[in-house]
């Protein structure tokens, strides 16, 4: 058998006891077996973990890296939205492209092979962000599959012209439509409009939702109702839902069962949620994070994602998803192996399911999208923040990171 590349003795997350060889031809995986005999360039993985890549289900490329342009004193959500709204007026397409490229390249070298980026659409910024991100999608297809989610950060029904622009973005190739009911003067009407547009263009939905700590009411109820009414189960995601951090485990389990029945996925954004929530408290500041691993146990598809990088929503970020999983494990007080393993799944197979990504996973016939980690087990990879060493995207090497060398005396 003639091959382009043979990866020898790798360990897959789903079967860490068995070492396998993976044969690659024309950008695809053509064989997986304990020992493959073939004439081909080979790379010995020496028992290291090989995965189909990290999957970033929620990031904002268009507003990343603007920290120095924004005033941030209080560190609240309202301040972050207002300060980015003001900075956004001077965005140009070239500026958004350059910042987005920097962030995207950071994600690639941290082992991310698929990503959903939200992009703001409104009469102030128009389609500048959308156009810049569409170019990034095309220019970086050699390293990463990018889904573009168009959404109105500053409201829809209260912002004349926003809906027309959103529809234009859908006509011009938005993969997903997003919403942000908490900034709308008529949240339920926004939810209804978003479902309507999604049905018209046959695309999935990804809401920013219930982003505060008051559990006495939730927009989640309306999203569940509309998901059922539109029969859109399996195609709806809600991000943040920090209200779920303010309820007890029995109510959380009941909501989890409802979300699982409706087919609504949940994305938790640990860095942003931790940074913005509980700003009214001086002592015993709440963590403000939905317990994704508990929702997972109720059958909900859950993911952990980066959200913002170097802006007033999150003034940090290296785009490492393994770091995000580790951060979540810290905040959620996770230590058991099976829960750490769940954290690993929430940055790999589960966000792939959430994004309805085709052909994700290490299997014969799938694209050779493969990332090798300096680790031998998924739970340890999360606990020890395992470094990604190199990646292949459709069989072609997309980055290499050299291991550190210790210079003994
Ligand atoms: Zn977001």
Tens place of pLDDT per residue across the chain (409 aa): 789 999 999 999 999 899 999 999 999 999 999 999 998 999 999 999 999 999 999 999 999 999 999 988 899 999 999 999 999 999 999 999 999 999 999 999 999 999 999 999 999 999 999 999 999 999 999 999 999 999 999 999 999 999 999 999 999 999 999 999 999 999 999 999 999 999 999 999 999 999 999 999 999 999 999 999 999 999 999 999 999 999 999 999 999 999 999 999 999 999 999 999 999 999 999 999 999 999 999 999 999 999 999 999 999 999 999 999 999 999 999 999 999 999 999 999 999 999 999 999 999 999 999 999 999 999 999 999 999 999 999 999 999 998 889 999 9
The phi and psi torsions of 176 (rounded to 5 degrees) equal -145, 150
Residue 97 backbone class (left: φ over 0; alpha: ψ -120 to 50; beta: rest)? alpha
**Closest by Cα among 350, 399, 393, 349 to 369:** 393
Distance 289 CA to ligand 1 centre (A): 14
- The encoded tokens of residue 67 equal 């920290």
Distance 118 CA to ligand 1 centre (A): 7
C-alpha span between 276 and 288 (Å, rounded): 9
C-alpha span between 292 and 314 (Å, rounded): 20
Name 55's Cβ contacts closer than 8 Å, sequence gap at least 6: 112, 113, 114, 115, 303, 321, 347, 348, 349, 351, 352, 355, 357, 360
Helix axes 220-229, 187-201, angle to 10 degrees: 30
Distance 34 CA to ligand 1 centre (A): 42
Distance 67 CA to ligand 1 centre (A): 16
Spell out the long-range contacts of 218-226 with Cβ–Cβ below 8 A and sequence spacing 24 or more. 218/243, 219/181, 219/182, 219/187, 219/188, 219/191, 220/255, 220/259, 222/181, 222/187, 222/188, 222/191, 223/191, 223/264, 224/258, 224/259, 224/262, 224/264, 226/191, 226/192, 226/195
Residues within 5 Å of ion ligand 1, judged at the Cβ atom: 307
- Residue corresponding to tokens 């940074």: 275
Distance 252 CA to ligand 1 centre (A): 22
Distance 60 CA to ligand 1 centre (A): 6
Distance 12 CA to ligand 1 centre (A): 31
Distance 153 CA to ligand 1 centre (A): 9
Distance 143 CA to ligand 1 centre (A): 23
Distance 3 CA to ligand 1 centre (A): 42
Could you tell me if 195 and 181 are in contact, meaning their C-beta atoms sit under 8 angstroms apart? Answer: no
Distance 207 CA to ligand 1 centre (A): 9
Name 281's Cβ contacts closer than 8 Å, sequence gap at least 6: none
Distance 347 CA to ligand 1 centre (A): 16
Distance 275 CA to ligand 1 centre (A): 13
Q: What is the pTM of this model?
A: 0.97
Distance 337 CA to ligand 1 centre (A): 29
Distance 59 CA to ligand 1 centre (A): 6
Distance 307 CA to ligand 1 centre (A): 5
Q: What Rg, from alpha-carbon coordinates, does the chain have?
A: 21
Distance 340 CA to ligand 1 centre (A): 24
């Amino acid at each position: 058998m003639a091959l382009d590349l043979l990866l020898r003795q790798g360990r897959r997350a789903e079967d860490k006891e068995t070492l396998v060889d993976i044969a690659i031809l024309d950008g695809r995986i053509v064989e997986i077996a304990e020992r493959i005999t073939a004439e081909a360039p080979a790379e010995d993985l020496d028992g290291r973990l090989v995965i189909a890549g990290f999957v970033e289900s929620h990031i904002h490329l268009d507003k990343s890296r603007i920290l120095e342009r924004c005033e941030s004193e209080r560190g609240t959500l309202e301040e972050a939205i207002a300060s980015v709204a003001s900075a956004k007026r001077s965005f140009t397409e070239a500026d958004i492209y350059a910042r987005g490229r920097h962030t995207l390249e950071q994600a690639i070298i941290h082992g991310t092979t698929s990503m959903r980026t939200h992009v703001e659409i409104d009469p102030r910024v128009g389609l500048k962000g959308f156009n810049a991100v569409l170019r990034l999608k095309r220019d970086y297809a050699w390293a990463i599959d990018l889904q573009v989610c168009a959404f109105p950060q500053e409201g829809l029904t209260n912002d004349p012209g926003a809906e027309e622009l959103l529809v234009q973005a859908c006509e011009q190739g938005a993969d997903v439509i997003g919403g942000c009911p908490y900034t709308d003067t008529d949240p339920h009407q926004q939810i209804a409009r978003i479902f309507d547009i999604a049905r018209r263009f046959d695309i999935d939905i990804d809401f920013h939702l219930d982003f505060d700590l008051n559990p006495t009411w939730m927009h989640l109820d309306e999203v569940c109702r509309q998901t059922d009414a539109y029969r859109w189960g399996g195609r709806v995601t809600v991000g943040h839902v920090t209200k779920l951090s303010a309820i007890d485990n029995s109510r959380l389990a009941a909501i989890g069962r409802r979300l699982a029945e409706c087919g609504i996925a949940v994305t938790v954004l640990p860095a942003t949620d931790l940074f913005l929530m509980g700003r009214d408290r001086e002592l015993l500041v709440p963590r403000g994070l939905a317990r994704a691993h508990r929702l997972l146990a109720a059958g909900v598809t859950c993911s952990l994602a980066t959200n913002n990088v170097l802006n007033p929503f999150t003034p940090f970020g290296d785009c490492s998803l393994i770091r995000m999983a580790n951060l979540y494990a810290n905040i959620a007080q996770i230590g058991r192996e099976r829960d750490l393993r769940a954290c690993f799944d929430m940055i790999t197979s589960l966000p792939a399911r959430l994004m309805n990504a085709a052909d994700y996973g290490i299997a014969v016939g799938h694209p050779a999208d493969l990332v090798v980690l300096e680790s031998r087990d998924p739970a340890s990879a999360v606990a020890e923040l395992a470094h990604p060493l190199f990646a292949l995207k459709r069989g072609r090497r997309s980055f290499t990171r050299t291991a550190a060398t210790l210079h003994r005396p």
